[in-house]
Amino acid sequence: MLMNKPSPDSFSEGVAALHNGEIVELATPSSRIIAKFIDWLVVATIIAIPLILSVILADLANTSRTIANQEAAFSLNKLLVFTVFATAFLYEPYMLARNGQTFGRAIADIRVVRIDDGDKPAFIRSTVRALIYWLFGLFNYLPLMWNKNSQGIHNKITATVVVFCRSTSKARPQR
């Protein structure tokens, strides 16, 4: 007897049916906020050193009397600023493509999965997800108030959901 796969719109409160039929427990908004806060702390820690170096280099460039030293300091300063933004932007896509979790999500015991098969999102999908998040900011979370499957704009567009790790066999990364 053939059974229809549950539709992603047939979710009950706090539970989702993925397209492969797997039932998962959706992450709560509070667990997502905790994870995001921890990730902001991680990114801030990662970028603090290049920013401090950038300030030191800018000061050295201002006190230097030779144009060559000023140009070298300015070039290195631009490289450091680029590194800061690249790190901040690529942290989440890299971590999600690696195992579906960032450090914050691992601590909160939640994971991002594709809605079609429950697997971790690939790097391209994770990058698009991060870009959409950066473009829309906190507005991404507005749909959580009326969306049964707790998908923000970035989740909806990239066909992902955030679930508790305990709710799926694929949710625990292989170590």
Residue that wins the pLDDT comparison between 28 and 60? 28
Altogether, the residues listed in the chain come to a count of 175
pLDDT for residue 61: 66
- 132-160 average pLDDT score: 85
- How many C-beta atoms lie closer than 10 Å to residue 154's C-beta? 21
> What CA–CA distance (Å, rounded) separates 155 from 132?
9
Report pLDDT digits (tens) over 75-94: 777 777 787 788 878 999 99
* Integer Cα distance of 139 and 61 in angstroms: 40
Rg (C-alpha) for the chain, rounded Å, is 20
Which of 58, 52, 49 lies closest to 76 in space, CA to CA?
58
Given a cut of 60, whether residue 6 has pLDDT beyond it is no
Rounded to whole angstroms, how far apart are CA atoms 170 and 20? 12
Q: What is the pTM of this model?
A: 0.74
* Cβ(172)–Cβ(113) below 8 Å: no
Q: Percentage of residues in the chain with pLDDT exceeding 90?
A: 37
The whole-angstrom separation of Cα 93 and Cα 88 is 10
What's the whole-number mean pLDDT along residues 61-78? 69
Kindly report the average pLDDT of the chain as a whole number. Answer: 81
Does 167 have pLDDT greater than 70?
Answer: no
Q: Which of 145, 44, 23 is nearest to 103 (CA)?
A: 44
d(CA 83, CA 65): 27
Residue 69 has pLDDT above 70, yes or no: no
Work out whether strand 110-114 and strand 160-164 pair parallel, antiparallel, or are unpaired. Answer: antiparallel
- Considering only residues 80 and 32, tell me which one the structure prediction assigns the higher pLDDT: 32
Q: Using one digit for the tens of pLDDT, what is the confidence trace for 125-143?
A: 999 999 998 898 878 878 8
The token pair at 14 is: 């706090």
The pLDDT value recorded for residue 123 is: 97
Least confident range of 16-20, 91-95, 114-118:
16-20
